[in-house]
Amino acid sequence: MSQKKVNVGIIGGGLMGKELVAACGRWDALVDHPVRPEVIAVADPSPAVRSWFENAKIPNIYEDYKQLLADPKVDVVYIAVPHNLHEEIYLATVAAGKDFLGEKPFGIDKSASSKIVAAIKASKVFVRVSSEMPFYPGAQAAFNYAKSGALGEIVEVHSAFLHSSDLDIAKPINWKRIVKFCGEIGVMGDLGMHVAHVPARLGFEAKSVYSLLDDIVKVRSDGKGGEVACDTFDNAVLAMKAKSASQDREFPMFWEMKRIAPGESNTWQFQAMGMKGGVKFSTRTPATFHKFAYANGEQIWQEIQPGHKTNWPVITGGIFEFGFPDSLLQMWAAYFAEREGLLGDKFGCATIDEVLKSHLVFEAAMESNKTGAAVKL
Ligand SMILES: NC(=O)c1ccc[n+]([C@@H]2O[C@H](COP(=O)([O-])OP(=O)(O)OC[C@H]3O[C@@H](n4cnc5c(N)ncnc54)[C@H](O)[C@@H]3O)[C@@H](O)[C@H]2O)c1
């Protein structure tokens, strides 16, 4: 099929910016995708980062993001910069009239996120928010099963992202562990959208929040022989009462976001249990998901192997394993297809309303942590 070429510019070529170059390199794995994105520009103040993009043969390399936004050849921007820069750069991108995929938390706090969302709504730019884990086939299957109504009355929902990235106390500090750059919401800013996306898409809305926020490691090496304060929350556990349009009773919903989760490497999981059925998926066992049914007095768990059954079809054989880079490819496939109005009923990237709602929850969680009480939304 003929594909529309879309020129992409990356602002912030660190860990995530580079992943987009790699995802575009695998674009031909997608079957009949209407778009062919090509990374034609990057902006990053770091010489080492610019040199990486030079090596990747990206033709337009800028030091200042304003140069990239002024480049008329750039159609779509991916913005992957520290959280303290989201507000300035996202607003500048809207003002430049460019569509973009923004990284979470989409503003360092609720106030920044509200300003960005208001500017987008007053413009014509097409914007979505990064969250790739729900694109795992098992996560998609779990989402679809929960959406089908097979659960009956919802009893309880759990959504979690569990890292062990900070278990090593000798690991030097980076911007993600400093409030000034990461935000007061700490780990909720880093991992929150990942746990919020599927519940939000299922219409599970938090009505009250009780939080346990934990700053476990308070000091880290600066990598130069000194020590600096590590002042962000490492772990956040939120116990919520949530509402769904399908039932009157509010139900418990738990979100766990942890950078220090001993025993976990990079585990994203979702579980929803109801009176008739249930579902659970974890990236720890990515080749399977589990369905539950309560029928004729029996409680039945089924283990299902979804294989490489993806949201957007791919050339990869259906029995092969799916992994993190595949989830990024699927997220970008959804972004570009939706931008063309061609996503159909496939699963879409997180929206600006969904990210704003996540910020309402995180703000309430901060308040709950201060008062020790549940906070109504
Ligand atoms: N979706 C995911 O799975 C995922 C994973 C990690 C990080 N993130 C998010 O991506 C964003 C970036 O995180 P990262 O891990 O790539 O960080 P990183 O530190 O690896 O990269 C950030 C880059 O931004 C650059 N930068 C700093 N100031 C800039 C400016 N003024 N203009 C342009 N570039 C500038 C830095 O030089 C650096 O290269 C954050 O919002 C983070 O929360 C998302």
Give residue-wise pLDDT tens across range 285-344.
999 999 999 999 999 999 999 999 999 999 999 999 999 999 999 999 999 999 999 999
Gap from CA of 163 to ligand 1 centroid (Å) = 18
- Give the separation between CA 102 and CA 239, rounded to whole angstroms: 27
Gap from CA of 1 to ligand 1 centroid (Å) = 34
Residue nearest to atom 21 of ligand 1 (CA): 14
Is residue 190 within 6 Å of ligand 1 at its C-beta?
A: yes
Give residue-wise pLDDT tens across range 251-273.
999 999 999 999 999 999 999 99
Give residue-wise pLDDT tens across range 190-249.
999 999 999 999 999 999 999 999 999 999 999 999 999 989 999 999 999 999 999 999
Q: Which residue type occupies 174?
A: N
244 DSSP β-pair partners? 247
Give residue-wise pLDDT tens across range 120-171.
999 999 999 999 999 999 999 999 999 999 999 999 999 999 999 889 999 9
Gap from CA of 175 to ligand 1 centroid (Å) = 10
Are 113 and 345 within 8 A, CB to CB? no
- Give the separation between CA 231 and CA 177, rounded to whole angstroms: 6
Residue nearest to atom 43 of ligand 1 (CA): 190
| Residue-level pLDDT at 330 | 98
Is residue 144 within 6 Å of ligand 1 at its C-beta?
A: no
For a substitution probing ligand 1, which of 11, 81, 100, 132 has the most ligand atoms within 8 Å of its CB? Answer: 81
In angstroms, what is the C-alpha Rg of the chain?
Answer: 21
Are 255 and 195 within 8 A, CB to CB? yes
Instruction: Calculate ∠ Cα 332-333-339, nearest 5°.
Output: 85
Q: Hey, what CATH class is 4-129 in? A: alpha beta
In the chain the first and final C-alpha atoms are separated, in Å, by: 48
Is residue 14 within 6 Å of ligand 1 at its C-beta?
A: yes
Is residue 333 within 6 Å of ligand 1 at its C-beta?
A: no
Q: Which residues contact 350 (CB under 8 A, 6 or more apart)?
A: 104, 128, 129, 130, 131, 193, 196, 197, 200
Q: Taking the domains of the chain in order of start, what are their residue ranges?
A: 4-129, 134-311+347-376
**Token digits for 248?**
């009157």
Q: How many other β-carbons are positioned within 10 Å of the β-carbon of residue 4?
A: 14
Among 41-45, 85-89, 176-180, the range scoring the smallest mean pLDDT is 176-180
State mean pLDDT over 23-39. Answer: 98
Superfamily name with CATH number, domain 134-311+347-376: Dihydrodipicolinate Reductase; domain 2 (3.30.360.10)
Q: Which atom of ligand 1 approaches the CA of 17 most closely? A: 16
- Give the separation between CA 161 and CA 157, rounded to whole angstroms: 14
Is residue 43 within 6 Å of ligand 1 at its C-beta?
A: yes
Is residue 191 within 6 Å of ligand 1 at its C-beta?
A: no
Instruction: Calculate ∠ Cα 35-318-20, nearest 5°.
Output: 35
Is residue 11 within 6 Å of ligand 1 at its C-beta?
A: yes
Is residue 51 within 6 Å of ligand 1 at its C-beta?
A: no
Element (H, E) at 49: helix 47-55
Is residue 49 within 6 Å of ligand 1 at its C-beta?
A: yes
